[in-house]
Amino acid sequence: MNKIIKNLTFLLTVISSTGFAQNQKAPETLTSLVKQSLDFYPKIKEQQQAVEISSYKTKMAESHHLPTVDFSASYTRIDPVGTIVIPLPDNPISAKFFPNNNYNTALNVRQTIWDFGKTTASVDKSRSEEALSKDGVESLKTTLAYQVANFYYAIIYLQKAIVVQQSQINLLRENEKIIADRIKNGDEIDYNLIATQVRYKNAETRLVDLQTQLDKQYILLSTVTGKDVKNSISADADFSWTQTESENNNWDLKIAKDREQIALQDLSIASNNAKPTLAFQGSAGFKNGIVPEIQRFRFNTVAGINLSIPIYEGHRIKQQQNIAKLSYKMSQYSTETQQLTVKSDVEQALNDIKAARLKLEMYGQQVEQAQYAMKLANSRYQNGVITNLDLLSAQTALEEAQLGELQYKYQLVLAQLQLSRLNGAQFWQ
């Protein structure tokens, strides 16, 4: 397990050298959208209520260190009561041991003196559960923030892809007009016009698909922010990701460790159940029935020490201890599993970043080559050196290169977001 932790720490440290952990801030538009979602999203408010509940539970557990005080009043009717007769010569005297009507009022106090760590263990568990609830809020905030970031960059990608697609449509429209004019002059055949029109319709269909996906992303973004944010992100927005600092704070792993700590405290509580409890009990008040004036209300006090030692409980405590031991072992395995998952996810994200950068460099070269080829093709087509099919091939190659470059820019930023999320970076703060 220690080896896994060392490897995971090393991988998360590598993030600072991946080239995007720079002293820069996230885009203001993205930061604003994230803050809107954190203020609005009901699930976060629900989890914050759980934190408050945990806080009250901790205070309840701590209250067992304090004494309990209550007031009691009682009335009891006794019939018959014990009577003694003193046989005096002139007038025998009859005396009762208890009155028929018994009244008692008292202020009662109970204070645990020593419970061998039972209350302390319960308080520690409550505090750990409170910490788990707080980490749950931060984990949920982080998940939501990166979900918003994914929507944000998906919108940028789709808007830029629409620009490329619209440019392709404009070129096809211009070529369709040129071909139609050449057909009138007998310099072109109908087949080339039909082929261009088919490509034009296909390009329009792809444009509709891209616009539909863009609308969907805006709907999802509006859902988590609680506002209509359509058209709030510029198509010229920066298509890159940076973070202000490198952190090592994976929330999924932290929550797993919180649960492991709670399981350990459950084990401590189960072990303490077999220990004795020493407590003080006392009361002060007024009652009748005190000899010799049994009808008179008199002030009285009672004080004592109570020692409770578990002797036999049907092996329940032993079974509780066994369950707690197994639960703790399960939580340890769960933490190890989470460590392996995070380690694997980090390695995959690093690999995705490496692959995306390599392909992005290749597509950058392809775009330059395709742009040059398109420039030559336009010139040659207008001079009648190449056919319409050659021109369309050059247009298609340029479009594919531009869309490919956009796609890998998008994949790169997604991989960087994933790596940043795994490291727990709160870029919106």
- Structural domain boundaries in the chain: 2-422
Q: What is the mean pLDDT of residues 236-243?
A: 74
How close are the terminal C-alpha atoms of the chain, in Å?
A: 33
CATH of 2-422, one of 3.40.50.300, 1.20.1600.10, 3.90.1150.10, 3.30.70.360: 1.20.1600.10
Report residue 187's pLDDT band, with 50, 70 and 90 as the boundaries: low
For 255-275, the pLDDT digits (tens) are: 999 999 999 999 999 989 889
The reported pLDDT for the residue numbered 312 is 86
Measured between alpha carbons, how far is 418 from 20 in angstroms, rounded to an integer? 12
Q: What number is the average pLDDT over the span 318-344? A: 94
pLDDT in tens, 54-101: 999 999 999 999 999 999 999 999 988 888 877 777 777 777 888 999
pLDDT given for residue 247 in this prediction: 57
- The whole-number pLDDT of residue 74 equals 96
CA neighbor of 33 nearest in space, from 137, 160, 147, 136: 147
> Under the phi-then-psi rule, with left for phi > 0, alpha for psi from -120 to 50, and beta for the rest, what region is 19?
left
Q: What is the pLDDT of residue 2?
A: 52
Residue 277 pLDDT:
94
Which range, of 14-18, 85-89, 356-360, averages the lowest pLDDT?
Answer: 14-18
**Model confidence at 409: pLDDT above 70:** yes
Do residues 260 and 253 lie in contact, with contact meaning Cβ atoms separated by under 8 Å? no
**pLDDT over threshold 60, residue 108:** yes
Percent of the chain topping pLDDT 70: 92
Q: What is the mean pLDDT of the chain?
A: 87
pLDDT higher than threshold 60 for residue 47: yes
pLDDT at 24 > cutoff 70: no
Digit-coded pLDDT (tens) for 333-345 = 999 999 999 999 9
Torsion of CA 116, 119, 124, 127, to 10 degrees: -170
**Segment 177-196 mean pLDDT:** 74
